[in-house]
Amino acid sequence: MRIISGKHQRRKINPPKNLPVRPTTDFAKEALFNILNNKYSTFENLTVLDLFSGTGSISLEFASRGAKSVMSIDSNSNCINFIKKTAEELDLPIETEVIDAIQYSNSNKIAYDIVFADPPYTIGDDDLILLHQLVTENLLVENGLFILEHSKHALKDIDLPSEIDRRKYGATVFRWINKE
């Protein structure tokens, strides 16, 4: 795993092997951030929420590229401890919390410019639809962006409200949803 760009460009990150994760591939992450670079001229004023953050790959990438603040949420304390330790070592503005992402989405009242969610590929369509509803209702600023990563087998033939784009990279699908 590596940080692709920004302050820590090309920096390799070696998460422990025992984390229960499936990190976003560098190929998919690079494609994701190429699209984001075309949408935003700078990341400096962006507040970002990374749900199901796992190794923190997405959080670290946003922070390295200068995001104003990044919040990483995961229900696994080992994942959060790794993210917290790595962020401290690299002096990156990442806050962390050990909590279930759906519970956080339901109870939190802070709105973010970008919410990225990469739930386990085993999560069901009903939970993905619930997550979409909670994020767009509770966690996005006006004109905020929700990026949902999921398996190509999930949400087949289901269009999510306010979906503006969908990209497939191997087994990974990114859905782009605007809060209007």
Residue 36's pLDDT band (boundaries 50, 70, 90)? very high
Query: How far is it, in rounded angstroms, from Cα 61 to Cα 11?
Result: 10
Domain assignment of residue 1, yes or no: no
Number of domains in the chain: 1
Domain assignment of residue 72, yes or no: yes
Select the more confidently predicted residue: 10 or 87: 87
- pLDDT exceeds 90 at position 21: no
Output the pLDDT for position 27.
Answer: 86
Query: pLDDT averaged over the chain?
Result: 92
Output the pLDDT for position 11.
Answer: 85
- pLDDT exceeds 90 at position 156: no
- pLDDT exceeds 80 at position 23: no
For 31, phi then psi, to 5°, come to -65, -45
Output the pLDDT for position 19.
Answer: 84
Using only the alpha carbons of the chain, give its radius of gyration: 15
Domain assignment of residue 15, yes or no: no
Domain assignment of residue 10, yes or no: no
Q: What does the pLDDT average to over 64-88?
A: 96
Output the pLDDT for position 15.
Answer: 83
Strand partners, 177: 146, 163
Domain assignment of residue 16, yes or no: no
Domain assignment of residue 118, yes or no: yes
Lowest mean pLDDT among 22-26, 49-53, 58-62, 114-118: 22-26
Output the pLDDT for position 90.
Answer: 96
Residue 148's pLDDT band (boundaries 50, 70, 90)? very high
* Domain enclosing residue 71, as ranges: 53-178
Residue 65's pLDDT band (boundaries 50, 70, 90)? very high
Output the pLDDT for position 109.
Answer: 85
Residue with tokens 């760009």: 5
Domain assignment of residue 103, yes or no: yes
Q: What does the pLDDT average to over 78-102?
A: 96
Domain assignment of residue 6, yes or no: no
Q: Which CATH number is 79's domain given?
A: 3.40.50.150
Query: How far is it, in rounded angstroms, from Cα 131 to Cα 127?
Result: 6
CA-angle at 84, arms to 13 and 72, nearest 5°? 95
Q: What does the pLDDT average to over 68-86?
A: 97
Residues whose CB falls within 8 Å of the CB of residue 139, separated by 6 or more in sequence, listed in order: 49, 105, 108, 110, 111, 112, 115, 146
